[in-house]
Amino acid sequence: MPSLAPAPRLDLLGLPLEQLTRLVVDEIGERPFHARQLYRWIHQRGVTDFDQMTDLSKSLRAKLRERCALEPLAKDLEQRSVDGTIKYRWRTRDGRLLESVYMPAPDRKTLCVSTQVGCAMACKFCMTGTLGLLRNLTAAEIVAQVHAVNREVAHNEGLALTRPLTNLVFMGMGEPLHNFENLKDALQILQSEDGPNFSHRHITVSTVGLVPMIARLGAETDVKLAISLNASTDAQRDELMPVNRKWKIADLMEACRTFPLRQGRRITFEYVLLRGVNDTDEDAGRLVELLRDVPAKVNLIPYNENPGLGFFTTGEERAERFREILARGHVAAFIRENRGRDIAAACGQLANRQGPGAAAQESPSGATA
């Protein structure tokens, strides 16, 4: 017996312009310039209702309504930190939850974007890793986080801009390079001139070190690279980050040395300081040696303690001493300000739960961001 379920509608949000043009021309039977008009409505003006696209003909709008969709995420929860950080939790059409974190600063408005629901990498200090990988996000779901937060920020801050966000960091839930094809489509959209037009200088993709994919990121995109390193020896890293059992620190450093860097650009190394685990003077000295021939800067991240994971925060004095040793070894290092700790929005804390001090605001049921 044939299924009576309606055919799933195609989400246009995840289609780069070239694919959208093929759809509009080959399947809908319209001329190519309509694809560009449609793309601009979606990605420059952030419109999610085909009926508001007033320069498209009524018949085209009707065809789009019938076959296509534009909004794969609904806002499920919003939590505000005392430091201005806002964590958004989204619900996908199939009921999965994911999070993105908005971090305003005087000179920039940054969004930390998720690429997967959960994560397969199982880093021992990270709450997301405890979820396992539930599924990859589609390109539409990756782009939708950016559009939705742009609308939220414009509304909350009374801005006339359609794209108030200035910077994107792919450091949310998931390992971006483990979902490379969807990440690449999303980047193509987010960077396109007919779309949100984010500069490559303002986009950073962070990886735990999927070595072959680092080469692809360098060859197929022009965004900035961050490496989540967190250890100074293979023995330590094998324990903390299972990915290291496959690709050792030497493999990772070689991938960094051959990563194509634009002039003046450096690779960011993220190093979560774990008390008594990776924060000794010897660790700092080894880190200097590892980074000796890599254009690098190091972000030292005070650990955000997660209940049950068994790791503790390095004290301020120790962190400062670690930074000084790196500086003496001519490695630029910064102790990163911790954002959104009170709402479990900081690094390694994204696991669809609320923080202890959270001022959670439930959005109206079914409200779309």
Alpha helix segments (H runs only) across 221-331: 234-240, 249-257, 281-290, 316-328
In the complex, the smallest distance separating the C-beta of residue 352 from ligand SF4, rounded to whole angstroms, is 13
Q: What's the min distance (Å) between Cβ of 369 and ligand SF4? A: 22
Query: Which residue's entry shows tokens 């958004």?
Result: 88
In the bound state with ligand SF4, the residue whose beta carbon lies nearer, of 72 and 176, is 176
Smallest separation, CB 136 to ligand SF4 (Å): 13
- Label residues 31-44 b or e (16+ Cβ within 10 Å = b): eeebbebbbbbbbb
144 φ/ψ angles, rounded to the nearest 5 degrees:
-60, -35
7's tokens: 């055919």
Q: Please, what is the minimum distance in Å from the beta carbon of residue 123 to ligand SF4?
A: 3
Which of 20, 7, 21 lies closest to 140, judged by CA?
20
Query: Who's near 29: CB < 8 A, 6+ residues apart?
Result: none
What lies within 8 Å, CB to CB, of 104 at 6+ separation is 84, 85, 110, 153
Catalytic (active site) residue 99: yes
From the CB of 175, what's the least distance to ligand SF4, in Å? 4
Q: Which is nearer to ligand SF4, 72 or 174 (CB)?
A: 174
Minimum CB distance to ligand SF4 smaller for 73 or for 121: 121
3-state DSSP helix/strand/coil % of the chain, to nearest 5: 35, 20, 40
Question: Is 124 or 216 the residue whose CB approaches ligand SF4 more closely?
Answer: 124
Two tokens at 48?
């999610």
Instruction: Report residue 358 as tokens.
Output: 């959270």
When the beta carbons of 36 and 96 are compared against ligand SF4, the nearer one is: 96
Active site residue 347: yes
Strand 296-302 relative to strand 267-273, pairing: parallel
Contacts of 256 (CB under 8 A, 6+ apart): 214, 225, 227, 267, 294, 296
Query: Whose Cβ is closer to ligand SF4: residue 32's or residue 132's?
Result: 132
CB of 57 to ligand SF4, least distance (A): 45
Strand-strand pairing, 73-80 and 224-228: unpaired
Interatomic CA distance for residues 24 and 40, integer angstroms: 14
Structure tokens at 72: 């794969």
Beta bridge partners of 69: 11
For ligand SF4, the binding residues (CB under 6 A) are 119, 121-123, 126, 128-129, 173-175, 208, 228, 348
**DSSP string spanning 227-244?**
EE---SSHHHHHHH-GGG
Catalytic residue of the set 30, 78, 99, 175: 99
Query: Catalytic site residues?
Result: 99, 347
